[in-house]
Every structure is written in C-alpha cells, then in structure tokens.
Amino acid sequence: MSPMQQNPSNRDAERERLCAALERKILADIPLARTMLLRARAYDGVSLTFSAALAPNINDKGCAFGGSLVSLMTLTGWGLIKLALDARGVDCDIYVKDSQIRYIAPVWRDFDAIAGLGEGQSFAAMFDTIDARGKAGIDVRCHVPLADDSQAATLAARFVAIARR
Amino acid sequence: MSPMQQNPSNRDAERERLCAALERKILADIPLARTMLLRARAYDGVSLTFSAALAPNINDKGCAFGGSLVSLMTLTGWGLIKLALDARGVDCDIYVKDSQIRYIAPVWRDFDAIAGLGEGQSFAAMFDTIDARGKAGIDVRCHVPLADDSQAATLAARFVAIARR
C-alpha cells in the first residue's frame, strides 16, 4: 500500500486507541459513569458516540432519568474535546461552563449520546487559542437519538480547555 | 395551645413527613440518586434542599462532576413540584422539559442544591391549570451554594406536571 492509502487506517487505529483509553479513564475517574455503564461506541475525529444502559439510569416512571441523559451528553461533549486534545498531544483540564438542555421525548431503552462541534466552531481555532493564551472556549452540540432517528434530548454546551503547566 | 398556635407545627410535621417519604421514593426509584447518596435536608413549603456526598460524585479533577450537579439540581426542582402536589393530594407525573445550567465554580466538598419557584410562578396557578386542563408547566430555579454563600452552579428549568387518570 502507498502511504496515502495507509495513513487513514493508521489514523483510524490511533483514534480507536485514544477512544478506548478515554473510556477506561472516565470509568476509572468518575463513579457516576461506572453506575451508568457508560461505553465509548464510535469516534471518527468529528463526532463521538457514548452509550449507557437503561436499567441503572431509570427514573420513577421507568424511562431514562433526565440527570442521566444530561450526564451522558455532557461526558460525550467533554470526551469530544478531550480526544481532539489527546490526538494533538496537548494536556488540558476541560470544564463545562454552561449548557442548554431540551428534553423532547422519553427514552425507554439503552441510549446513545452523539456529540459534535457547534456551528462555526473548529478544533484548529481552539488549538491556536490555547497556544496563544493557554486556554480556549469551544461550543459543542450533543443529542440522544431515538430508534427512528428523531431526538429524545439535545444539549448545547460551552466547554473551556485550560493548558496544564 | 390554641388552634392558631398548633396549626403551623402540624403543617411543619406534615411537610417533614412528605419530605422524608419523597427521599425514600427517590432512593427506591432512581439508581443514580442512590449512587449519589442523595438526602432530603430541608423543606418549608417554598424551598427544598437536597444534598449529595462528594466522594461518589467526583470527576477526573476530584471535584464534583457537572452531571452530578445537574442531576441533584434537577431532582431538587422535581421534588419541589412533587411535594406541592403531594401536599394537595394531586397525583401527577412530573417531567423536566428544558433547562439552562451555569457552572460557576468547582465544588470540593459535599454539596446542597436549593430549589424554589421561578419569578412570577405560583403553585396556586399550577393547581388551577391542572384542575382546568389536566396538566401545567412551571418554572423552577435551583442553585448549589458554596461555603461563602456564593453560587457554584445554577439551573433554571421548566417542568410539566400531568395528572394521572
């Protein structure tokens, strides 16, 4: 294979490795993620999918608890930023600053959260700002899809990444 | 004691009973609340305080995970509506519809969430609307105080209560 053919598969393997390491880190560091049975499902450099089981995340009605939906969406957004920084080898603390959540429909099964950047946002701009100022803010959007691809819940959140000294 | 002196203490005892029953219900129904070590702390008919322990709610930095802060604030807001309906003997399912969250400062110890109604909201209006239409929306505000009484996080949320048939 030529280098042009080989590079994408190397890149995919590296993404898979970083994503698996992130899942291990989240499960090791965050007790709530262990209770939720969080799993990292897919990462292509642009969007990240985490999943959670329904059973440990139910509410009084037997569907997914709003706090679990927000927690999974927030962690998926956080993970999207973390993986971009990991791939570039930049060591940052990442905080969620604010978020807007809409709960659209109840969730009666195991669920995913899919995160991507907000409109007009780019990792390139985030890296440049961190290089220049030691920190940067970035907007993320996340949603929980239903079986018919409509949305059960959405989150728009701003995160801040601060370089570790 | 005259009835005028006795009524307030009867009312306080009834609130205490309803609040303790709510804590038991939440811990029985919502696994995440058990993991969080949620406790009902105070209820005066106007505001409700829930607490959670830090240890099961930490993030990768060792302070409170954003998802835990939102979960506790959302449950406290939900509980405020639930207790008002319980005190009136109205059986409803209560859902959170949307919320805006600000994360202002990290939380490094066990934490409370304090919920009250949003500006211009009243339980009387909520009861009237449920009587007339079988459901009603109501705005709640909640915050996590720090030791110096500043705010670590705030939540503004809209809930919907739907009468059970």
Query: pLDDT tens for residues A78-125?
Result: 999 999 999 999 999 999 999 999 999 999 999 999 999 999 999 999
Contact between A72 and A50 (Cβ < 8 Å): yes
Chain B closest-CA separation from residue A99 CA (Å) = 5
Confidence of residue A149 (pLDDT cuts 50, 70, 90): confident
Query: pLDDT tens for residues B141-158?
Result: 999 999 998 999 999 999
Beta strand A48-52 with A151-163: parallel, antiparallel or unpaired? unpaired
Which pLDDT belongs to residue A3? 46
Contact between B73 and B144 (Cβ < 8 Å): yes
Tally the C-alpha atoms within 13 A of residue A21's C-alpha that lie toward its C-beta. 10
Q: Report pTM.
A: 0.94
Residues in chain B within 8 Å Cβ distance of A25: 60
Contact between B50 and B70 (Cβ < 8 Å): no
Q: What's phi and psi for B125, nearest 5 deg?
A: -65, -40
Residues in chain B within 8 Å Cβ distance of A24: none
Which pLDDT belongs to residue B149? 87
Residues in chain B within 8 Å Cβ distance of A61: 93
| Positions of chain B with pLDDT lower than 70, given as ranges | 1-6
| CB-based contact, A93 to chain B, within 8 Å | yes
Residues in chain A within 8 Å Cβ distance of B108: none
- Nearest-Cα residue of chain B relative to residue A73: B67
| Average pLDDT, rounded, for chain A | 94
| A81 contacts: CB under 8 Å, gap ≥ 6 | A94, A126, A138, A140, A159, A161
Which pLDDT belongs to residue B18? 94
Q: Quick check: B95 and A103 CB within 8 A?
A: yes
Greatest distance between any 2 Cα atoms in chain A = 57
Q: Give the 3-state secondary structure of A48-94.
A: EEEEECCHHHECCCCCECHHHHHHHHHHHHHHHHHHHHHHHCCCEEE
Average pLDDT over residues A138-162: 97
User: What is the percentage of chain B residues whose pLDDT exceeds 90?
Assistant: 90
DSSP A139: E
Encode B36-58: b = buried (16+ Cβ within 10 Å), e = exposed: bebbbeebeeeebbbbbbbebbb
Radius of gyration of chain B (CA): 16
ipTM score of the complex? 0.92
User: What is the percentage of chain A residues whose pLDDT exceeds 70?
Assistant: 96
Which of A23, A25, A58, A74 is the best substitution to test chain B (most B C-beta atoms within 10 A)? Answer: A74
Res. A66: pLDDT tops 70: yes
User: What is the percentage of chain B residues whose pLDDT exceeds 70?
Assistant: 96
CA–CA separation, B29 vs A64, rounded Å?
11
Beta strands per DSSP E along chain B: 39-43, 48-52, 92-103, 111-117, 135-145, 151-163
Res. A10: pLDDT tops 80: yes
**Token pair for residue A116?**
């991507």
Q: Quick check: A101 and B97 CB within 8 A?
A: no
CA–CA separation, B59 vs B149, rounded Å?
23
Which pLDDT belongs to residue A2? 45
